[in-house]
Amino acid sequence: MTNIIPISHHTPISSSSSLSLIDVYKNGLIGINTTNTKTELGMEMDMDFQHDNGKRLAPNEYVGSSSGGIKENKKDNKEKMKLRRHRYAFHTRSQVDILDDGYRWRKYGQKAVKNNKFPRSYYRCTHGGCNVKKQVQR
């Protein structure tokens, strides 16, 4: 159902007009926002949470708090409760919101792929009624 647009060597980015995320990557920029954003803030955030040998500590307020807050489709709710997702504090605004086709893409994830040393970014079209997703990797 979900239209996934894999960005690969042979798959063009949607309508790809002129400047695309790939272009940015090709330029050697890992973080897409590195071009014109305030990624520095993200670094501050990192420092704020890295205390345990580089491992992020989950705020105790998240451990076993507010029951029923998570989605029900989770099997082990209790387990999840303890492993509550930690919180992040940062703010990064990127002008790359509006890309090639003029659609608005929101980044919802980033993963480091084995094959590539570069991280793969996942974007979701936030346009009204647009359920398109796409991956961007170098």
Chain residues binding DNA by CB under 7 A are 2, 4, 31-33, 37, 39, 42-43, 45-46, 55-56, 58, 69-71, 74-76, 79-80, 83-94, 96-97, 104-111, 113-115, 120, 122, 124, 126, 133, 135
Q: How far is the CB of 109 from DNA (least distance, A)?
A: 3
16 vs 42 by CB, closer to DNA: 42
Q: Count H helices, E strands: the chain?
A: 3, 6
Q: How far is the CB of 107 from DNA (least distance, A)?
A: 4
Q: Residue 63 in 3-state DSSP?
A: coil
Q: How far is the CB of 85 from DNA (least distance, A)?
A: 5
125: left (phi over 0), alpha (psi -120 to 50) or beta: beta
Around 88, how many Cα atoms within 13 Å sit in the side-chain half-sphere? 10
